[in-house]
Amino acid sequence: MPWLDWYNSLEKPAWTPAPATIGMIWQILYPIILVSFGFVFIQAIRRKVPWLVAVPFAMNLVANLIFTPIQFGMRNLPLAAVDILIVWATILWMIVAVWRHYRWVAVAQVPYFVWVSMATVLQLSITAMNWGRP
Segment 58-64 shows an average pLDDT of 98
Quote the pLDDT of residue 134: 66
Q: Which amino acid is at 112?
A: Y
In a domain, 8, yes or no: no
In a domain, 9, yes or no: no
In a domain, 101, yes or no: yes
In a domain, 1, yes or no: no
How remote is the C-alpha of 25 from its chain's centroid? 12
In a domain, 87, yes or no: yes
Domain range for residue 115? 20-129
Taking the complete model, does pTM exceed 0.75, yes or no? yes
Q: Are 25 and 13 in contact (CB under 8 A)?
A: no
In a domain, 67, yes or no: yes
Contacts of 28 by beta carbon, 8 Å cutoff, 6+ apart: 111
Total domain count, the chain = 1
In a domain, 82, yes or no: yes
Q: Is the pLDDT of residue 120 over 80?
A: yes
In a domain, 14, yes or no: no
